[in-house]
Amino acid sequence: MTLRNGWEMVVGLEVHTELKTATKMFCGCANSFGSEPNTSVCPVCLGLPGSLPVLNERAIELAMAIGMALHSTIAPSTFHRKNYFYPDMPKDFQISQYDLPINLGGYLDLPDGSRVSIERAHLEEDTGKSTHLGGSGRIHGADRSLVDYNRSGVPLVEIVSGPDIRSSAQARAYVVELRGILIATGASDGRMEEGSLRIDANVSVRQADAPFGTRCEIKNLNSLRSLQRAIDYEAARQVDLIEEGGTVRQETRHWDENVGATSTMRTKEEAEDYRYFREPDLVDLAPDQSWQDRVRAQLPPMPAERRSTLRARISEPVPTVLDAVEVVIDLGLDPFVHAALDRGVEPALALARAANELAGDLDGTSRLAAAAFCDTLLMEQRGELSATQAKTVLAELLARGGDPRDIAALMGYEQLSSDSLGSTVAGLIEEFPDEWTRYRDGDEKLAQFFIGQVMKVTKGQANGKAVVAELRARR
Amino acid sequence: MKTAEQVAREVRSGATTAMAELNAALSAVRERNEELNVFLHVDEKGARAAASRIDERVARGEAVGPLAGVPVALKDNLCQNGVPTTCSSRILEGWRPPYNATVVDRLLAAGAVPVGKTNLDEFAMGSSTENSAFGPTKNPLNPSRVPGGSSGGSAAAVAADMTPIAIGSDTGGSIRQPAALCGLVGVKPSYGLVSRYGLIAFASSLDQIGPLTKTVMDAAIVLEAIAGHDPMDSTSLPEPAPSLVAHVESGVVGKRIALVRELVDGADPDVVASVDQAVAALREAGATVVELSIPEFRLGLSAYYLIAPAEASSNLARFDGVRYGLRVKRDDVTAMMEATRTAGFGAEVKRRIMLGTYALSAGYFDAYYGQALKVRTRMIEAFARAYRQVDMLIGATTPSVAFEFGSKTSDPMAMYLSDVFTIPTNLSGEAAISVPFGTGEAGLPIGVQLLGPGRSEALLLAGARVLEIADGRP
Amino acid sequence: MSSPLRREDVAHVARLARLTLSDAELDMFTEQLGQVLEHANDMASLDLEGVVATAHPFGLINVVRDDVVRPSLERDVVLAMAPDSQDHRFAVPRIMGESP
Ligand SMILES: [Mg+2]
Ligand SMILES: [Zn+2]
């Protein structure tokens, strides 16, 4: 979406990612999503009187890894207390990095060639989680809230971009690329729907090359769809406002996905006075060169590099294949694809199965051996399994693991012998003489028609490629 | 009453039992607690269990620790698993922590028997124990006088012969000042020597836990037992507990000591006279004593009364009625928090929360808190300059002997001034000890303070031991 | 640096600190806090230009712990502390606004 009358949007994003550590940021409680309420809590993360925080080494290393992937400078840093009262925050302050963050500066290059600068990526702790009773289950209108502190103290990294983003599509591309980096570094599982990635967007508008306008911050955008819609809505709102002679007020706004609009949450005047000061219970952090080198040595290749490596192996870069490449890189599924290509699987098939079947069950990929993935695809390619059967076998492998041959046998997938396929095709040629004539005269689209008919007759047991081979042989 | 050293020795040898010593402590508590208001809670059941465990181990011939069977009083800002812990505040009334402070674990490991929790100024904010929500503690040496504070209950427990030793915390003098006013030895260890895990924070960058005892040797034994690195406290010094007991009798021969003008200026004449006599005694024992002026010390009070309240305002935010302690019912959570805090905190706590919130708030941070942190730097540099010339410093612990109840309660600034000699060491994070030396008005004890660099506890204990002997307690 | 404390400053600070002050308390605190702040003005006598702030006495750095799970508290123990609880969670009255 472009703005009318020469208006341009200026967007900066703050992306909060939960870190995939075994324990919380300052205590040994398990960092686990979805456990029973208030079972992963201790004196420290409940903020009990007398308790003290101790930094999780792994959280620091993951933060450094993110910074390295974003070309940041790893800097000596400190922790501050951000003071405000809120029931889901056990100490009534959040430990966060303030003027001296662990990662300073940097940039992220997007697949379209644009570059978004990174201002900082700092460590902080998450809060507990409230559920609201009465009303509609939302905070407004509720008469009572319940708090679970399992999430309290989970380590977060907040990545703050420069105001370099100029469209909602670019904002989306930035988040997708960043998510790929977070997954690659092992810092995050990148799951927005579970809240492990949360985004605030700073949006302003201006006439091209004019100074930046007043910005509004939109809080808690929890899906890529919300992110894009909210930014577009907010930019348009600001343009309308200015064109009607109004001025944009600096404020924090809330995005309502159902209504499709942002609304005022807090004006600048109502902003909290956080009374930041150095956290006296923690000491400074200054990772020396050898610690940094150790972390850097463990960094796997980042999405940009993996994307070009994968693209280089594709002979026919048609749009559907390139889209699949994006999905595969974003979700870190490319090792499966490379393994399949090494074994001689067609790129289009390998990418399609990874971008659809594997992407549909990311948890399952931990149970899936690369060899089993390759074997399944080779069976499909050779016509030993139909596409539908191959997908079913993959689903089983993702659910429970195992050997694809055993699964195929167990499911009773008799391969359709070329003999019986040949007679089926011969029968269909007789049944549909007009279609056969057109196909024979070069109308390739008719191949699809015959495949469909074969599938119908064989109840999906045939392999599309084998059918085409059979048709070609008779042409 | 026996010293801790004696009790532990006799328990180990079988000359007495932990249970007998506990019974003696409990009967002393029963006898005078109502009058003096020392203990807020006596954990008789837990103490009996701990004592019999020690006695069983002695009977089995097992090794027991250096504090075997020694009853100990704990300031009620130390968390003890399952035992009410209030910080002398309504806001925590009825709360039982689900965990032990590291210091409590270490005392138990050393064989000590925690008897109960002692009164203090609410959240350790005060110098007289008059700020307790549960009434003031009286000085056992003269019940019309304050015992000092904020560890007034712990000091009184030892002074009243209820327990041989007690544990306190010192943020601006809260161990040394009551020790001085009750005629005891009190140590403010180097910052990080003793773990703060489980100490309910007043001002995190200043708080330290330490012993209150009758003798220097007992202070050394207790400190050795509770000191040393703790992985639960990020600010804990990395090394294990230093050897202290072995150095108590080391003397001061060849040591250089400076009498600091700012640590006696403004003190009562009898206090100044005691410090002078202490100086003479140290010279007699072979030390060289010079005079020194450290003008930065005069600014300590100002810096302290911004830094400590600033940290406290944040540390005490968690008392909001959501998770534990008092809750005053209201229809919305903000009103509930405000009503709870308003009802739960006493006047002095509110005063300091207000002061600290103000010092940190937008527009005032640089002028007050930021400035105070720079003064702190100057203070540390001034100490460092002094310690390039001498091994330790000497001065008074308090400007006067124990004062009358109510004499300073209406004027916070006057009360704050009673901490003027103890505060510099908290700001620098270094070590100091108060040891009784002579008496003043109404025959009340006077405390002399020895100050040393970080990790100089052995040196200070040896110096204090010289004064103890010179004061007639060989 | 000298900043005479006003009554409305004290009222604002009380709101930030979640304390309700009566009129009499407001007057008292305005005076008493003013005295402490006035005393603090003696710090202005020191030349603090270029002095680095010390937030912490000793210069420890990089104190960390291994990322190894330790036992959490029993939930019954945790919720026994709560002034009010429901469905294994801490219960609070209505929350008026979203977290800042
Ligand atoms: Mg943040
Ligand atoms: Zn925890």
Distance A30 CA to ligand 2 centre (A): 8
Tokens representing A472 are 């070609």
Tokens representing A474 are 């008779």
Q: Which of A263, A282, A297 is the last residue of a domain?
A: A297
Domain-located, residue A387: yes
* Burial (CB count <10 Å: 0-12, 13-18, 19+), residue B29: buried
Alpha-carbon gap, residue B359 to B123, rounded angstroms = 19
| Shared domain check, A27 and A133 | yes
The count of residues in chain A is 475
Q: Which residue has the tokens 């390619």?
A: A381
| pTM over 0.95, yes/no | no
Alpha-carbon gap, residue B84 to A344, rounded angstroms = 71
Minimal-distance CA residue of chain C relative to B352: C33
Does position B177 have pLDDT exceeding 50, yes or no? Answer: yes
Q: How close, in Å, is residue B322 to chain A by CA atoms?
A: 7
| Shared domain check, A50 and A137 | yes
Range of the domain at A463: 418-473
| Shared domain check, A183 and A53 | yes
* Contact assignment for A92 to B317 by CB distance below 8 Å: yes
- List residues bridging with A157 in a β-sheet: A17, A123
B108 CA to centre of own chain: 19
Distance A40 CA to ligand 2 centre (A): 6
Minimal-distance CA residue of chain A relative to B335: A85
Alpha-carbon gap, residue B447 to B187, rounded angstroms = 12
What is the tens place of the pLDDT at every residue in C14-57? 999 999 999 999 999 999 999 989 988 888 777 888 999 987 77
pLDDT number for residue B362: 86
Does position A242 have pLDDT exceeding 60, yes or no? Answer: yes
pLDDT number for residue C83: 97
User: CA torsion angle for B329, B331, B337, B342 (degrees, to 10)?
Assistant: -60
Alpha-carbon gap, residue C30 to B30, rounded angstroms = 44
Quick check: B103 and B208 in contact, CB under 8 A?
no
Alpha-carbon gap, residue A35 to B452, rounded angstroms = 51
pLDDT number for residue C1: 41
Task: Place C6 in a pLDDT band, splitting at 50, 70 and 90.
Answer: very high
Q: Which of A233, A262, A297 is the last residue of a domain?
A: A297
What is the tens place of the pLDDT at every residue in C58-98? 789 999 999 999 999 999 999 999 999 999 999 999 998 88
Does position A136 have pLDDT exceeding 80, yes or no? Answer: no
Helix axes B300-315, C23-40, angle to 10 degrees: 140
List C-alpha distances in Å: B107 to A1, B102, B304: 69, 9, 30
Minimal-distance CA residue of chain A relative to B80: A50
Distance A124 CA to ligand 1 centre (A): 7
* Burial (CB count <10 Å: 0-12, 13-18, 19+), residue B11: buried
Which ligand has the minimum distance to the alpha carbon of residue A38? 2
- Residue B150 is among the residues annotated as catalytic for this protein: yes
Picking from A84, A462, A115, the residue whose alpha carbon sits closest to that of residue A276 is A84
Contacts of C56 in chain A (CB under 8 A): 278, 280, 283
Q: How close, in Å, is residue C23 to chain B by CA atoms?
A: 14
Quick check: B352 and C33 in contact, CB under 8 A?
no
- Concatenating the DSSP letter of every residue in C4-65 gives PPPHHHHHHHHHHTT----HHHHHHHHHHHHHHHHHHGGGGGS--TTPPP-SSSS--B--EE
Residue A333 CB neighbour total at 10 angstroms: 22
- What interface predicted TM-score (ipTM) does this complex get? 0.97
Distance A43 CA to ligand 2 centre (A): 6
| Shared domain check, A395 and A468 | no
Task: Place C2 in a pLDDT band, splitting at 50, 70 and 90.
Answer: very low
Contacts of C78 in chain B (CB under 8 A): 98
Whether A30 has its CB under 8 Å from any CB of chain C: the answer is: yes
List C-alpha distances in Å: A55 to A60, B199, C64, C67, C87: 8, 19, 5, 9, 31
- Residue B205 is among the residues annotated as catalytic for this protein: no
| Shared domain check, A309 and A271 | no
Catalytic residue among B128, B150, B190, B236: B150
Task: Place B425 in a pLDDT band, splitting at 50, 70 and 90.
Answer: very high
Contacts of C61 in chain A (CB under 8 A): 283-286
Domain-located, residue A379: yes
| Shared domain check, A309 and A290 | no
Q: How many domains does one find in chain A?
A: 3
Domain-located, residue C21: yes
Whether C91 has its CB under 8 Å from any CB of chain B: the answer is: no
Contacts of C83 in chain B (CB under 8 A): 321-327
Alpha-carbon gap, residue A222 to A194, rounded angstroms = 9
Range of the domain at C11: 7-44
Q: Which of A405, A428, A458 is the last residue of a domain?
A: A405
What is the tens place of the pLDDT at every residue in A252-269? 999 998 999 999 988 887
Alpha-carbon gap, residue A399 to A124, rounded angstroms = 35
Residue B82 CB neighbour total at 10 angstroms: 13
Domain-located, residue B465: no
Alpha-carbon gap, residue B331 to B341, rounded angstroms = 15
**Which residues lie below 8 Å from residue C54, measured CB to CB, with a gap of 6+?**
B373, B374, B376, B377, B380
Minimal-distance CA residue of chain B relative to C74: B98
Domain-located, residue A156: yes
Q: How many domains does one find in chain B?
A: 1
Integer Rg of chain A from CA = 27
- Nearest Cβ partner of B320 from A50, A85, A282? A85
The one-letter amino acid at B235: T
Domain-located, residue C26: yes
What is the tens place of the pLDDT at every residue in A168-196? 999 999 999 999 999 999 999 888 888 88
Kindly list the partner chains of chain A, i.e. chains with 3 or more CB atom pairs below 8 Å: B, C
Helix axes A418-431, A464-474, angle to 10 degrees: 60
* Contact assignment for A51 to B197 by CB distance below 8 Å: yes
Rounded to the nearest 5 percent, the helix, strand and coil shares of chain B are 45, 15, 40
Does position A462 have pLDDT exceeding 80, yes or no? Answer: no
Quick check: B340 and B321 in contact, CB under 8 A?
yes
- Look at A253-267, A289-303, B378-392, B432-446 and tell me which has the smallest mean pLDDT: A253-267
Task: Place B406 in a pLDDT band, splitting at 50, 70 and 90.
Answer: very high
Task: Place A9 in a pLDDT band, splitting at 50, 70 and 90.
Answer: very high
Domain-located, residue B461: no
Tokens representing A251 are 């404020």
* Contact assignment for A83 to B200 by CB distance below 8 Å: no
Alpha-carbon gap, residue A314 to A388, rounded angstroms = 24
Average pLDDT over residues B443-449: 98
Is the bond preceding B150 in cis, omega lying within 30 degrees of 0? yes
Kindly list the partner chains of chain C, i.e. chains with 3 or more CB atom pairs below 8 Å: A, B
Task: Place B117 in a pLDDT band, splitting at 50, 70 and 90.
Answer: very high
List C-alpha distances in Å: B371 to B283, B324, B393: 39, 36, 26
- Nearest Cβ partner of B338 from C19, C45, C48? C19
Which ligand has the minimum distance to the alpha carbon of residue A150? 2
The one-letter amino acid at A71: H
| Shared domain check, A444 and A397 | no
- List residues bridging with B188 in a β-sheet: B432
Does position B448 have pLDDT exceeding 50, yes or no? Answer: yes
A162 CA to centre of own chain: 21
Alpha-carbon gap, residue A145 to C85, rounded angstroms = 10
Cite the beta strand spans of C1-100 per DSSP E: 64-65, 85-86, 89-93
What is the tens place of the pLDDT at every residue in B154-175? 999 999 999 999 999 999 999 9
Please tell me what DSSP assigns to residue B300: H
Quick check: A156 and A125 in contact, CB under 8 A?
yes
Does position B411 have pLDDT exceeding 60, yes or no? Answer: yes
Does position B337 have pLDDT exceeding 70, yes or no? Answer: yes
pLDDT number for residue A130: 93
Distance A191 CA to ligand 2 centre (A): 23
pLDDT number for residue B247: 98
Q: How many domains does one find in chain C?
A: 1
The b/e string for A146-157 (b: 16+ C-beta within 10 A; e otherwise) is bbbbbbbbbbbb
Range of the domain at B34: 4-244
Does position B24 have pLDDT exceeding 90, yes or no? Answer: yes
List C-alpha distances in Å: A78 to A69, A100, B432: 21, 6, 29
| Shared domain check, A344 and A202 | no
- For chain B, give the longest Cα–Cα distance: 70
- Residue B410 is among the residues annotated as catalytic for this protein: no
Give me the CATH number covering residue C19: 1.10.20
Task: Place A209 in a pLDDT band, splitting at 50, 70 and 90.
Answer: confident
Q: Is B313 helix (H, G, I), strand (E, B) or coil?
A: helix
pLDDT number for residue A184: 93
Integer Rg of chain C from CA = 23
Alpha-carbon gap, residue B371 to A205, rounded angstroms = 40
Tokens representing B289 are 């004593």
Distance B319 CA to ligand 2 centre (A): 18
Q: Is B295 helix (H, G, I), strand (E, B) or coil?
A: helix
Does position A417 have pLDDT exceeding 70, yes or no? Answer: no
Tokens representing B207 are 């708080």
Does position B48 have pLDDT exceeding 90, yes or no? Answer: yes
| Residue A21 parent element (H or E) | none
* Burial (CB count <10 Å: 0-12, 13-18, 19+), residue A105: middle
Give me the CATH number covering residue B100: 3.90.1300.10
Domain-located, residue C91: no
Task: Place A415 in a pLDDT band, splitting at 50, 70 and 90.
Answer: low
Contacts of C79 in chain A (CB under 8 A): 38
Contacts of A281 in chain C (CB under 8 A): none
- Mean pLDDT of all residues in chain A? 92
Domain-located, residue B383: no
Average pLDDT over residues B30-40: 98
| Shared domain check, A142 and A104 | yes
Phi first, then psi, for residue A472 (nearest 5°) are: -60, -45
Distance C17 CA to ligand 1 centre (A): 21
Domain-located, residue A34: yes
- Look at A103-107, A454-458, B183-187, C4-8 and tell me which has the smallest mean pLDDT: A454-458
Give me the CATH number covering residue A443: 1.10.10
Pick the more confident residue, B468 or A191.
B468
Among A residues 329-368, those touching chain C with beta carbons less than 8 Å apart: none
pLDDT number for residue A418: 59
Alpha-carbon gap, residue B339 to B330, rounded angstroms = 8
| Shared domain check, A438 and A355 | no
Residue C15 CB neighbour total at 10 angstroms: 15
- Nearest Cβ partner of B374 from C18, C37, C51? C51
- Concatenating the DSSP letter of every residue in A265-288 gives EEEGGG------EE-TTS-BB---
Tokens representing B342 are 């308003």
Which ligand has the minimum distance to the alpha carbon of residue A217? 1
What is the tens place of the pLDDT at every residue in A81-123? 999 999 999 999 999 999 999 999 999 999 999 999 999 999 9
Tokens representing B47 are 């103490």
Average pLDDT over residues A436-449: 89
Picking from B253, B289, B267, the residue whose alpha carbon sits closest to that of residue B394 is B289
